[in-house]
A and B are shown apart, each in its own frame.
Chain A
Amino acid sequence: GAVVSQHPSRVICKSGTSVKIECRSLDFQATTMFWYRQFPKQSLMLMATSNEGSKATYEQGVEKDKFLINHASLTLSTLTVTSAHPEDSSFYICSAWPQGIQGDTQYFGPGTRLTVL
């Protein structure tokens, strides 16, 4: 089956610093990737849709200048949390929509646990 990886799996940073999270589709190409945020004991909330070769589309209430998304290639999207604060601590999950593979399933990465001190 299709595999999506995320790196790092866990990161701890100081308040005010920036953190980059990578999402890679390992065995398929994805023109579209998605970034979700999940707070403890809550559901996943879509943050933005990452489009290869164009600007990301952000959901209402998500600050595009704070959460920078770059979809550099058909297999890589990055999320940079800029000037992170403790309230940005969360579980960030990406997913990818395979092109050319039958079915409507998005494939999810294993997630990145961000802790901002």
Chain B
Amino acid sequence: SQQGEEDPQALSIQEGENATMNCSYKTSINNLQWYRQNSGRGLVHLILIRSNEREKHSGRLRVTLDTSKKSSSLLITASRAADTASYFCATEYGNKLVFGAGTILRVKS
């Protein structure tokens, strides 16, 4: 399977703390994307990082990509209760997206 793996599977933190989620994948990629999904809803695109990029920022989000280790991390700083959701990484193979297993983040207020 080309599906990536994410860890942790679940993460529970206090509001204001930082949350870090990791994603690993198996083969060479064009880019890696992170998505958020609130319970029972569709996906919201957070950030895309290309294979020739190492780090990218968007607001409170910071994404890193290490192609030598075939891994990526998503850092959410100063978390808020509204950040509670599932977070998925997705790698692009050709024109297809392959999603990781996801991390369930719960931010307690």
Contacts and interface: CB of A to CB of B under 8 A. Distances in A.
Contacts of A113: 40
Chain A: number of interface residues, binned into ranges: 20 to 34
A111 B42 contact: yes
19 contacts: A32-B95, A34-B96, A41-B104, A42-B101, A43-B99, A44-B43, A44-B88, A45-B99, A49-B96, A93-B42, A93-B43, A104-B31, A104-B48, A104-B92, A106-B97, A107-B45, A108-B43, A108-B44, A108-B45
Interface of B: 3, 30-31, 33, 35, 40-45, 48, 88, 92, 95-102, 104
Interface of A: 6, 32, 34, 41-46, 49, 91, 93, 95, 97, 103-111, 113
Contacts of B97: 34, 46, 95, 106
Contacts of A41: 104
A69 B95 CA distance: 18
B88 A43 contact: yes
Contacts of A107: 45
A41 to B, nearest CB: 8
Contact of A97 (B95, B98, B99, B100): B95
